[in-house]
């Protein structure tokens, strides 16, 4: 009996069912996942993450993510950091979407604790984990330092991130290691995923490492051993994804 | 949607879109038929009905075969194909052989009203009486479908059937194909097929304001619905000048050849019609088409360098994965764009429409794959597509006219209004 | 009361590689075939189109091209004394859902197993003696030989347009190919893929280390290719998005690019999507399948009668269905008796990441663009002094350089912060990785059964996986990794990060989707579920396809062997349909 399936109305299809994943639906999904952009119609190209109204995060949560991710990927000699790359927006939109709701995960109880090899066993979705964990980290900061994470000096911020990474902070039901791993994973995603998802702004992450983006033909280039590839950076929505996200195409 | 639908001419109504083959025909490559039995007649009729792609127009989307009702948009209004099943009340079940021949040969229906030339009687008039008989014999074997014809939506005076008499007087000469004694039987067979049942110039010919094909240059390229059917004459750039006879045979038989693959409406024509033609008939068509001289070439304006740079960038980002660098394509898989007559056609509409809508190679028994190209209408805007098509038409030695943003915008809107 | 559909001659559970082959073969033989697929219909355009598919986040990271564990997953534990817990999201392996199955998202690494792999018990006893085999290991011959399968390997390779260099044609060694491979009747249909900077580095280093490198066989077309069914493929353009992605330009072999254009046009073939088969039904004797029951997208339970049933789902799903349907005797680990769920195996992988100076442009790649050595696969080397059974290949695959999941960092590199940025900047274009890909034998303690606690969306118990790496596999993998390190050391001006596979098996990190066994084939019904023709010993009109029939796993990617076994079984099914009954008497 597949109540859940029919409840979710994910489409139907017999022969050549209509629920295909087409580019069109992909574009729609990007748009749907970026309602703030859709409404504003003109996200600034080089603004900080705060310039966009978060969809899932509260303003305080967004401030925390801004500060934490900027320590994980700082601005330095090699270029902009998480904030310049739009990572808070990226994570916000991810949490507001299917990933944040753990739509594809098996989320039926019971929920006993397992061993490391058995992987994730929390009854919380990623969106819930962020909300709960950020609240507890901020409470920890106020208790230890009398101010929120974003107002700590960078050294203290790094210390706290290291403590989370090692599982040395009590976040209630959520192991600090789990939260840190999720935050760091999503931060890397925001830096290195296609700019169509609103992170990796101006190809910040790809420029750092030298990945040219989704190009489909290296037949002639692959034999040019040792030579850098020179074609311009490109995303799934073209060479200037910000133009797409502004609704210009 | 088929190329042969909007056919040539303006409007049509009429009912039957039929076809034929044979006059000179009969003694050329189909077997000489002195007195065919009923079975042979029906079989030959089926061959001709496919050759004329009658079903394409005379069957509505998801409708019963040959029951008509398909909307045929014309520049003048919409007409609807008619029921040519043997149903006595709504089809042609009461028509005898002479009624049917008159419709095919003169464009006049059983009740005496004049048909609109969206029904290709200006071509079918070339058909031999035997061929027309066989077509009717085949149609008589189809399932009877009771479905009333839909009245055309045309403005006055076109809505008056009598107006077609004037049209006929100006643009139509009835007459069975007459073999050119100075040419081979094979050439004559090809001419009979191309000018008759195949009604190729309905799409591949330039049409005048009244929708009549330019009789002096019947295969010099023309519009079919929203796409441009390229010239079938001997031009090396935008015609068949670089094609061999075998290339033509392969293309019509399988939808592709060493040079290109069929796209858009022609892909459907191949899969529903020409692939059923016999090899000798395909070869006869090739011989005839290869005999057509090249028309004089137009002057082509050079594209702006900035447009070419923009187009080159878009080509790299969007097209190179399949069509490869330099537009070489992949033999047998993805069509080359370099040196392609379709790409360099006088009008860029087919190229633009392919980019906007995507396309697929016709799937045939010989070539079942149906390799497809995605639609780029969401990813590329009008300016992008103008630059890209201009680039493709002028890069790598190609030499065809610049495409403007307005060209793309117009076509995009037309396709949006009429997605078929 | 379940709705009853009209009977068909043959119903296939699943519509991936094996189903497409069986359907093509049996419809050619004139029978009516229906495939039931739990996922959606998918085709190159629009689903994998060039402007859509190169999306690492969507497909590889969020895993939208695979099955969704949301509705049904499995539970996992390392050993029977633990409580198995649900695999909440995908990790270690990535089964497919949707038409084309995992054939859509594989890399195209298309190998033949070694002749000895099929007779591993006999071969091991002959060369090393009976005592060489650990007590806990269920080492079994397959019941079919390489020579019997050779024509079917050939058919699969020509279907797919495999690119490669033959190493042994008719017993004559061929320069440039794999000197250890079994004799093939003819070469590959296409020449090998182009080499890239990193495979050239590997080739040179492997030679210096004294090994015999060759281009790995690739179901990525090196040139446009038209297969024996007349289906046309395009040439690979090295875009670097094979595994975990569909192919946008028809160059990776999949059911879509090799069979479906012909199959879908046949009047005696049909398929239904979003149909989740929950039971194979049998008559009151339990000896004859009467069809299957499935749940459609609206939650309706529907009975589909059929004269013959073929399980074509992913390995563990086939086993799950057998257990739910109570066909065959379930394996009991305490007594060692029973067969369904027995012989579960996997593979063991490791890598040696290499950091050197030359720009390698890792993003120019293809799923099966690799250079490998087979000196330590199967029994190509003397195991006597080493004390373990099995082996694997060592290869440098340049499958792509997708930035989120395919970057390599030196040992002890900073894991975040400016230090992380610097190592990413310094190494992305110049680092590469040598992989080892090793066999896993079957053991008494590794098996599949039904979970007592968790259920799927259809109310059925989840499958329970009990599995861990055994000392034999760790010893083999460590040895293999040591050999890979020798190759890495022969690359000039390079440092290495050796990543052995230590400790217990974990279901978290991706390793390989080469899950095998649970419905083993063999000559003895007390140790196998299906006979040498993949026909159920218990229910002769039921056949089981895919890697679920492997008695243990070899050191190669399994798809080539799965394809060959499917063609082999299809021939047997045609004989069965003419003269129904057991093809082997028990």
Examine the pLDDT at A14 and tell me if it is beyond 80.
no
According to DSSP H, which parts of C243-345 are helical?
Answer: 255-258, 260-263, 315-324
Is residue C547 within 8 Å of residue C556, measured between CB atoms? no
How far is A232 from C404, CA to CA, in rounded Å?
Answer: 20
Which domains occur in chain C, in start order? 3-578 (3.50.50.60)
Domain positions in chain A are 48-104+119-211
d(CA C361, CA A210): 9
Domains B185-290 and B305-417 in one fold: yes
Alpha carbon of B318: minimum distance to chain C alpha carbons (Å): 7
Whether A227 has its CB under 8 Å from any CB of chain C: the answer is yes
Per the CATH hierarchy, to which homologous superfamily does domain B305-417 belong? Cytochrome c-like domain (1.10.760.10)
The minimum CA-CA distance between A40 and chain C, rounded to whole Å, is 25
User: Does C362 contact B at CB distance below 8 Å?
Assistant: no
C91 close to C507: Cβ distance less than 8 angstroms: yes
Q: What is the ipTM of this complex?
A: 0.96
Interior CA angle at C353 toward C351 and C358, to 5°? 145
CA distance A14 to chain B (A): 18
| Residue C21 binned pLDDT confidence (cut-offs 50, 70, 90) | very high
Query: Phi/psi of residue A113, each to 5°?
Result: -75, 145
Residue of C52, C54, C234, C269 to mutate for B, most B C-beta atoms under 10 A: C234
| Whether A193 and C401 lie within 8 Å, measured CB to CB | no
pLDDT grade for B214, boundaries at 50, 70 and 90: confident
Q: Which residues of C touch A225 (CB under 8 A)?
A: 196-197, 200, 358
Nearest to B373 among C45, C224, C230 (CB): C45
What is the arithmetic mean of pLDDT over C346-362?
Answer: 98
Please say if the pLDDT value at position B275 is more than 60: yes
pLDDT band at B174 (very low <50, low <70, confident <90, very high): confident
pLDDT at B19 over 70: no
Tens digit of pLDDT for each residue in C144-155? 999 999 999 999
Write out the H or E segment, with its range, that includes residue C466. Answer: strand C461-466
Instruction: Quote the pLDDT of residue A245.
Output: 54
- Eight-state DSSP code of residue C59: I
Give the DSSP H/E element, type plus range, for residue A238: none
Cα–Cα distance measured from residue C474 to residue C477, given in angstroms and rounded to the nearest whole number: 5
Tell me which of B368, B377, B378 to substitute to probe the interface with C (most C C-beta atoms closer than 10 Å).
B368
Q: Report strand pairing: C301-311 vs C8-13.
A: parallel
Query: What band does A28 get if pLDDT is binned at 50, 70 and 90?
Result: very low
**Mean of pLDDT values over C408-417:** 96
Return d(Cα A121, Cα B187) in angstroms, integer: 78
Residues, chain C: 586
Name the minimum distance, in Å, from the CA of A99 to any CA of chain C: 7
> Which position among C317, C320, C497, C514 bears the catalytic label?
C514
* Nearest-neighbour CA in chain A from B2: distance (Å): 23
Q: Compare B9 and B191 and report the one with higher pLDDT.
A: B191
Q: How confident is the model at residue B152 (pLDDT cuts 50, 70, 90)?
A: confident
Residues annotated within a binding site of B for heme c: 54, 57-58, 200, 203-204, 319, 322-323
A27: chain B residues, CB-CB within 8 Å? 378
**pLDDT per residue as tens digits for the range B26-54:** 333 344 444 556 788 899 999 999 999 99
- From residue C456, alpha-carbon distances to A3, A65, B84, C296 in Å are 11, 36, 55, 15
Catalytic (active site) residue C514 = yes
Flag whether pLDDT at A18 surpasses 60: no
**% of chain A exceeding 90 in pLDDT:** 74
Higher local confidence (pLDDT), C335 or A41 = C335
Structure confidence at residue A2 (pLDDT): 35
- How far apart, in whole angstroms, are the C-alpha atoms of residue A154 and residue A162? 12
Chain B residues with beta carbon closer than 8 angstroms to that of A232: 313
Instruction: Pick the more confident residue, B331 or A167.
Output: A167
Q: What is the mean pLDDT of chain C?
A: 97
Give me the residues paired with residue A167 across strands: none
Least confident of B230-239, C172-181, C201-210, C232-241: B230-239
Residue A115's pLDDT band, with cuts at 50, 70 and 90, is very high
Residues C354 and C396: their CA atoms lie apart, in Å, by 10
Task: Give the count of Cβ contacts less than 8 A between chain A and B.
Answer: 36
Q: Are A189 and C386 in contact (CB under 8 A)?
A: no
Under an 8 A CB cutoff, do A115 and C361 touch?
Answer: no
Q: Which of A187, A203, A207 is nearest to A195 (CA)?
A: A203
Strand partners, B74: B77
Verdict on whether the full-model pTM lies above 0.95: no
Using CA atoms, how far apart are residues B407 and B396, in angstroms rounded to an integer? Answer: 23
CA–CA dist C340, C328 (Å, integer): 6
Domain chopping of chain B, boundaries: 3-171, 185-290, 305-417
Q: In the sheet where C447-455 sits, what is the strand order?
A: C85-86, C74-77, C461-466, C447-455
The pLDDT tens digits for B354-396 are 999 999 888 888 889 999 999 999 999 999 999 999 999 999 9
As a whole number of angstroms, the distance between CA C494 and CA C488 comes to 8
Q: Give dist(CA C52, CA C45) in Å, integer.
A: 9
CA B338 from chain centre, in angstroms, equals 24
B334: closest CA among B319, B345, B349, B312? B319
Residues B28 and B185: beta-carbon distance below 8 Å: yes
C490 within 8 A of C208, measured Cβ to Cβ: yes
Partner residue opposite A106 with nearest CB, options C88, C235, C407: C88
pLDDT of residue B162: 72
pLDDT in tens, C180-235: 999 999 999 999 999 999 999 999 999 999 999 999 999 999 999 999 999 999 99
Contact residues for C107 (Cβ-Cβ < 8 A; gap 6+): C242, C243, C367, C368, C397, C399, C557
Beta-carbon neighbour count of residue A168 at 10 Å?
11
Find out whether A23 and B374 touch, Cβ atoms under 8 Å: yes
In A, which residues are within 8 Å of B374 by CB distance?
22-23
Q: How far apart are CA C256 and CA C263, in angstroms?
A: 10
In angstroms, the CA C61 to CA A186 distance is 10
Of 2.60.40, 1.10.3720, 1.10.760, 1.10.150, which CATH number belongs to B185-290?
1.10.760
Pick the residue with more confidence: A223 or A9?
A223
pLDDT digits (tens, 9 = 90+) for B99-126: 999 999 999 999 888 888 888 999 999 9
Q: Give the pLDDT of residue C549.
A: 98
> Is the Cβ pair A216, B379 closer than 8 Å?
no
SS3 C387: coil
Q: Are C319 and C519 in contact (CB under 8 A)?
A: yes
Question: If you compute the radius of gyration of chain B from its CA atoms, what whole number of angstroms results?
Answer: 21
* Chains contacting B (3+ CB pairs below 8 angstroms): A, C
Contact C438, C392 (CB under 8 A): yes
Confidence of residue B323 (pLDDT cuts 50, 70, 90): very high
pLDDT the model gives residue B417? 85
Across the range C557-561, mean pLDDT stands at 98
Q: Is C235 on the interface with B (CB under 8 A)?
A: yes
């Amino acid at each position: 009996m597949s109540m859940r399936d029919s409840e979710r109305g994910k489409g139907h299809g017999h022969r050549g069912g209509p629920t295909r994943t087409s580019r069109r639906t992909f574009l729609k999904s990007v748009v749907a996942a970026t309602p703030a952009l859709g409404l504003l119609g003109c996200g600034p190209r080089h603004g900080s993450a705060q310039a966009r109204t978060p969809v899932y995060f509260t303003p305080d949560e967004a401030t925390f993510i801004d500060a934490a991710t900027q320590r994980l990927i700082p601005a330095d000699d090699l270029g902009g950091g998480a904030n310049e790359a739009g990572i808070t927006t990226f994570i916000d939109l991810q949490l507001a979407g299917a990933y944040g709701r753990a739509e594809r995960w098996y989320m039926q109880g019971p929920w006993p604790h397992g061993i490391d090899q058995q992987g994730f066993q929390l009854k919380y979705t990623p969106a819930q984990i962020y909300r709960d964990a950020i609240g507890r980290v901020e409470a920890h900061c106020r208790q230890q330092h009398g101010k929120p994470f974003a107002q700590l000096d960078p050294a203290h911020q790094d210390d706290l991130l290291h403590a989370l990474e090692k599982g040395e902070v009590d976040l209630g039901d959520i192991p600090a290691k789990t939260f840190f791993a999720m935050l760091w994973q999503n931060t890397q995603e925001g830096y290195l995923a296609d700019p169509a998802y609103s992170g990796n702004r101006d190809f910040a992450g790809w420029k750092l490492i030298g990945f040219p983006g989704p190009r489909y033909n290296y037949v002639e280039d692959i034999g040019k051993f040792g030579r850098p590839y020179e074609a311009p950076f490109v995303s799934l929505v073209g060479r200037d994804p910000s133009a797409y996200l502004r609704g210009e195409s | 949607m088929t190329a042969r639908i909007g056919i040539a001419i303006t409007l049509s109504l009429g009912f039957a879109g039929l076809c034929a083959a044979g006059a000179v025909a009969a003694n050329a490559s189909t077997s000489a038929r002195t007195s065919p039995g009923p079975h042979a007649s029906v079989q030959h009729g089926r061959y001709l009905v496919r050759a004329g792609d009658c079903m394409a127009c005379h069957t509505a989307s998801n409708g019963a075969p040959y029951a008509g009702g398909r909307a045929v948009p014309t520049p003048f209004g919409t007409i609807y194909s008619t029921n040519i099943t043997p149903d006595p009340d709504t089809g042609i079940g009461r028509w005898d052989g002479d009624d049917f021949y008159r419709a095919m040969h003169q464009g006049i229906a059983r009740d005496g009203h004049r048909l609109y030339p969206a029904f290709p009687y200006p071509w079918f008039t070339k058909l031999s009486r035997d061929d027309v008989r066989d077509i009717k014999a085949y149609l008589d074997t189809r399932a009877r479908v009771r479905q009333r014809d839909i009245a055309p939506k045309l403005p006055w005076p076109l809505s008056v059937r009598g107006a077609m008499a004037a049209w006929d007087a100006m643009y139509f000469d009835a007459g069975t194909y007459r073999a050119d004694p100075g040419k081979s039987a094979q050439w004559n067979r090809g001419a009979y097929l191309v000018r008759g049942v195949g009604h190729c110039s309905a799409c591949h010919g330039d049409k005048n304001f009244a929708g009549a094909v330019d009789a002096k240059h019947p295969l010099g390229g023309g519009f079919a619905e929203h796409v441009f059917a390229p010239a079938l004459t001997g031009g090396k750039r935008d015609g068949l000048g670089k094609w061999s006879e075998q290339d033509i045979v392969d293309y019509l038989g399988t939808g592709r050849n060493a040079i290109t693959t069929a796209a858009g409406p022609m892909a459907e024509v191949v899969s529903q019609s020409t692939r059923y033609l016999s090899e000798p008939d395909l070869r006869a068509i090739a011989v005839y088409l290869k005999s057509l001289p090249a028309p004089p070439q137009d002057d082509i304006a050079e594209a702006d360098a900035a447009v070419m740079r923009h187009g080159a960038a878009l080509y790299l980002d969007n097209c190179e994965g399949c069509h490869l660098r330099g537009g070489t394509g992949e033999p047998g898989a993805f069509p080359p764009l370099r040196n392609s007559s379709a790409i360099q056609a006088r009008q860029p509409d087919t190229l633009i429409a392919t980019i906007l809508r995507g396309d697929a190679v016709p799937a045939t028994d010989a070539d079942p794959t149906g390799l497809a190209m995605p639609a780029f209408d969401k990813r590329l805007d009008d300016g992008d597509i103008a630059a890209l098509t201009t680039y493709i038409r002028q890069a790598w030695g190609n030499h065809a006219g610049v495409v403007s943003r307005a060209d793309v915008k117009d076509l995009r809107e037309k396709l949006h209004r009429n997605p078929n | 009361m379940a709705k009853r559909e009209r009977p068909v001659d043959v119903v296939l559970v699943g519509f991936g590689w094996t189903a497409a082959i069986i359907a093509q073969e049996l419809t050619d033989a004139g029978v009516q075939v229906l495939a039931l697929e739990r996922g959606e219909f998918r085709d190159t355009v629009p689903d994998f189109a060039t402007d859509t598919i190169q999306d690492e986040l969507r497909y590889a990271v969020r895993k939208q091209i695979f099955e969704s564990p949301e509705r049904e997953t499995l539970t996992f534990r390392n050993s029977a004394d633990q409580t198995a817990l649900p695999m909440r999201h995908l990790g270690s392996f990535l089964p497919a859902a949707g038409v084309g199955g995992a054939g859509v998202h594989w890399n195209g690494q298309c190998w033949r197993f070694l002749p000895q792999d099929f007779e591993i018990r006999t071969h091991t006893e002959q060369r090393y003696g009976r005592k060489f085999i650990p007590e806990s290991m269920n080492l079994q011959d397959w019941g079919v030989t390489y020579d019997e399968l050779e024509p079917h390997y050939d058919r699969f390779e020509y279907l797919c347009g495999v690119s490669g260099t033959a190493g042994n044609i008719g017993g004559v060694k061929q320069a440039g190919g794999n000197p250890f491979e079994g004799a093939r009747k003819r070469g590959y249909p296409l020449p090998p893929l182009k080499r890239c900077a990193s495979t050239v580095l590997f080739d040179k280093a492997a030679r210096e280390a004294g090994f015999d490198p060759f281009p790995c066989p690739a179901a990525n077309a090196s040139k446009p290719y038209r297969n024996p069914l007349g289906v046309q493929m395009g040439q690979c353009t090295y875009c670097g998005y094979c595994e975990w992605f569909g192919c946008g330009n028809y160059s990776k072999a999949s059911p879509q690019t090799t069979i479906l254009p012909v199959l879908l046009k046949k009047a005696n073939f049909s398929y239904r999507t979003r149909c989740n088969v929950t039971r194979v039904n049998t008559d009151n004797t339990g000896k004859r399948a009467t069809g299957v029951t499935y749940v459609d997208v609206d939650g309706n339970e529907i009975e589909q009668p059929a004269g013959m049933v073929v399980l074509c789902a992913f390995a563990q799903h086939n086993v799950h269905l057998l257990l739910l349907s109570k066909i065959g005797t379930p394996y009991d680990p305490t007594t060692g008796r029973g067969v369904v769920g027995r012989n579960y195996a996997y593979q063991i992988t490791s890598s040696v990441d290499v950091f050197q100076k030359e720009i390698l442009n890792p993003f120019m790649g293809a799923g099966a663009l690799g250079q490998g050595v087979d000196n330590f696969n199967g029994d190509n080397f003397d195991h006597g002094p080493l004390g373990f059974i099995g082996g694997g290949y060592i290869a440098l695959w340049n499958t792509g350089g997708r930035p989120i999941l395919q970057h390599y960092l030196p040992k002890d590199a900073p894991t975040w912060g400016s230090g992380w940025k610097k190592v990413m900047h310094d190494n992305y274009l110049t680092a590469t990785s040598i992989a080892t890909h090793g066999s896993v034998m079957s053991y008494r303690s590794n098996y599949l059964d039904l979970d007592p606690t968790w259920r799927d969306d259809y109310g059925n118990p989840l499958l329970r996986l009990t599995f861990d790496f055994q000392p034999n596999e760790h010893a083999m993998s460590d040895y293999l990794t040591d050999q890979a390190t020798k190759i890495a050391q022969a690359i000039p001006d390079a440092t290495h990060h050796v990543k052995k596979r230590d400790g217990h098996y974990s279901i978290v990190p991706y390793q390989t989707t080469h899950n095998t066994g649970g419905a083993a084939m063999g000559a003895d019904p007390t140790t196998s579920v299906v006979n040498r023709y993949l026909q159920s010993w218990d229910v002769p009109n039921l056949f089981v396809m895919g890697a679920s029939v492997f008695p243990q796993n070899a050191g190669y990617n399994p798809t080539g062997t799965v394809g060959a076994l499917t063609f082999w079984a299809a021939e047997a099914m045609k004989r069965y349909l003419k003269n129904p009954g057991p093809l082997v008497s028990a």
